[in-house]
Structure 1
Amino acid sequence: MLAIVESINSCLKISNPVTFIQGALPKILDLEKTCDEMFWRSTNLLRETIEILCDKIKEIPGITCPIKPEASLFVMVKLDVSLLEDIDDDIDFCVKLAKEESVIGLPGCIVGLKNWLPISFATDPKYLED
């Protein structure tokens, strides 16, 4: 299990965005050339998706979202493993989630937060509903 954690951790040290993103950023960040509507739509979509995610998390026993993010693309959720059947910790949760639901998660212990999980909400709202 330690080898898996070390492997994932080594991937997190990559800090440079891919080349096409690097090329697009100056134009995206140039407020005179970027349409206000694009920012408005993106902001509203993120507000909608965080609401969906936080509402769905409230329905799941053993998982809580103590702080709703205001300027992020992911939320950190806390696992209460005492309420989760046959789950020992965040690594065990992520392994079983991958095996049973084909959903890949990053255990919080990778970034020093045992029994926490980051969940991205930067996706289409219909996927969060699932």
Structure 2
Amino acid sequence: MTASLPIRQPCPPGACDCGREALLDLPGADPRILYLTRQEEKRLLERLENLKSLADLEHLQQRMFEQLGIGVEISPSFHEVRSMRGIGIRLRDQPGLCRKTRQAIPAAIRRGLENHPQIAYELLNANDLLRDA
């Protein structure tokens, strides 16, 4: 007997532009993002807020891509980085990814970087922005 994985409940009509229904109707579409239920989303956001190191962040990025198909790009701005706002966090466009989730993941990563600024310094150093410091 095979148990099916629970999928995310649909958003209220008109409240989201995720394209969940279109994703379910397309043959050959990648439905992995629908396995991110609200409870699992809360666990993911909590995990992103409690980062331990840059390696931990990179590991989470890899796991989100492998398990859910969520591509997260984190890069410092070309201009000065004076706060966590100077670090760009973008999610690749993906059908089925809820609008609130698209906003919550970067916010959770920023909170994690604010809680542990050494991770932000490691990120800047990895991108060679602190070479002259």
Q: Which bracket does the TM-score occupy, shorter chain normalised?
A: under 0.3
TM-score w.r.t. the length of structure 2 is 0.26
Which is bigger in relative contact order (C-alpha 8 A, separation at least 6)? 2
Question: TM-score scaled by structure 1?
Answer: 0.27
